[in-house]
Amino acid sequence: MILSDRDIRKALESGRVKIETADQLRAQVSAEELFTHIHASSMDLRLGNTFKLYEHSKFAVLDPKRPETLGGLMRTIIIPDGEAYLVQPGEFVLGVTQEKITVPDDLVVRVEGRSSLGRLGIIVHSTAGFVDPGFIGTITLEISNLNRMPVALYPGMRICQLAFEMMSSPAEMPYNMKPFSKYQNQVLPEESRLASDPEFMVKG
C-alpha cells in the first residue's frame, strides 16, 4: 500500500518519518515548505551541492575484487549555490539529496525520477531506487544523461520523488541492524562499497 499525501503529512507530523536538511549550516526546512513538496502519492527531495565522478583514466575496469578501483580515486566536485553542474551526454555521476531521511521499520521508500527531468533525458537512479526500513541518511543519486545535449542541474532544485509503501509487518532485521549496512548515516554521495560484500571479502 502506497501512502497518500495525507498519510505522508501525518507520518512527518508525528515524526514517524523524518526529513531533515543534511547540511547543518543551512537553514532547516520548515514544515510549511516541506509540505509544498508533497504530491498525491509522493514527495520531492532536492539536489545537494556535491557530486562524485569516476576517474576513468586511472583504471581500465571497475573490479569489486580491487576496492581501489571502485571509489578510492573518485573525484569530488562541489557546486556553489546558484551555479549549475552540466551533465554531459552519456555521463554518469553520483549526486546526493540535500535532505536526510529516517525510515521507520514498517515502511520502504522508492526513489523515482521526476517526469520533467526524465523528458530532458536525466535518470536519477540506475537500479538502486529502493530504501530499506531502518535507513537513516541522505540518498545517493545515480545520475545519467540519455540526451544528446548537456543538461544543467542546480543545487536546491527538486531532483527526485519518494513513494512510501507500508510493509505487511515491521522488519525483523531493519537496515540499521543489518551486519553489512554499508551506507547507514551517509551524508555525501557514497561510491559503491561492493568490495565489502561477504563474497568479495578476502578469506584467511
| Integer angstrom CA distances of residue 62 from 55, 57, 59, 72, 203 | 10, 12, 7, 11, 21
Q: What is the pLDDT of residues 53-106, one digit of tens each?
A: 887 776 678 777 777 777 667 889 999 999 999 999 999 999 999 999 999 999
Can you tell me the distance from the alpha carbon of 105 to that of 108, in angstroms, rounded to the nearest whole number?
8
pLDDT at 25: 41
pLDDT higher than 50, residue 197: yes
Average pLDDT over residues 151-166: 95
Catalytic site residue from 68, 112, 142, 165: 142
Cell of 14: 508525528
Q: Between the CA atoms of 170, 159, 30 and 51, what dihedral angle is there, to the nearest 10 degrees?
A: 100
> Which domains are delineated in the chain?
5-56+73-171 (2.70.40.10)
Give the chain's mean pLDDT: 85
Which pLDDT score, from 0 to 100, does residue 64 have? Answer: 78
Task: Quick: pLDDT tens for 131-141.
Answer: 999 999 999 99
Closest CA to 19 of 104, 101, 107, 130: 101
**Catalytic site residue 142?**
yes
| Phi, psi angles (nearest 5°) of residue 14 | -80, -15
Residues in the chain: 204
Is the pLDDT assigned to residue 128 strictly greater than 70?
no
Residue 28 has pLDDT above 60, yes or no: no
